[in-house]
Amino acid sequence: MKSLLVLLLVPFFMTQTSTVEVVKWEGLEKALNNKNGKIKIVNFWITGCKTCVEELPQFEQLHRSFGSQVEVILVNLDKESIEETKVNPVLEKNRITAKVFLLNEPDQNSWIGKVEPSWSGAIPATVIIDQNNNRRLYEKVLTYAELVKIIHDIHKP
């Protein structure tokens, strides 16, 4: 009976969702600097953006498929006060295990250009940072297939 209980609990523990780390710009900036040799996929989203939430599973699939080559960072831009009521339920529903930050910086104009100078501030937005810290911005919904193609293009000799 004890071994059956362990077998039933293993999938639960293996699929626990990420915890949200609330950060200021300096904390996010540190995470964006590419010093670990992996491609970084950084997606900016809010819970009130239907297409943002709909594409989260694409990033989770990428995280699970390419974890050794790619670091997925999901940056939520909602107010910290709704983390428990809106952000966490979205993460749980989508079984998100990738790294999640909640950027607690209400003045978006102070940091948007620092992420990528060409970013208008529209969401969903994804910044792909290669191993040399070069950045590519996508101000649109990205599919899993598009993300995989981008990763393969970066790895081409």
- Concatenate the DSSP letters of all residues of 125-139 into one string: EEEEE-TT--EEEE-
Q: Quick one: pLDDT at residue 31?
A: 92
Q: Quick one: pLDDT at residue 82?
A: 82
Contact present, 33 and 114 (Cβ < 8 Å): no
Q: What is the pLDDT of residues 68-108, one digit of tens each?
A: 889 999 999 998 888 888 999 999 999 999 999 999 998 99
Q: Model's pTM, two decimal places?
A: 0.86
Q: Quick one: pLDDT at residue 157?
A: 60
Beta pairing partners, 20: 100
Q: Quick one: pLDDT at residue 45?
A: 97
Q: Quick one: pLDDT at residue 16?
A: 63
User: Domain ranges in the chain?
Assistant: 15-155
Q: What is the pLDDT of residues 10-56, one digit of tens each?
A: 444 445 667 899 999 999 999 998 788 899 999 999 999 999 999 99
Q: What is the pLDDT of residues 55-64, one digit of tens each?
A: 999 999 999 9
Distance, CA of 20 to CA of 152 (rounded, Å): 29
Task: Report whether CATH 3.40.30.10 matches the domain 15-155.
Answer: yes
What's the burial of 31, exposed, middle or buried (CB within 10 Å: 0-12/13-18/19+)?
middle
Q: Quick one: pLDDT at residue 81?
A: 82
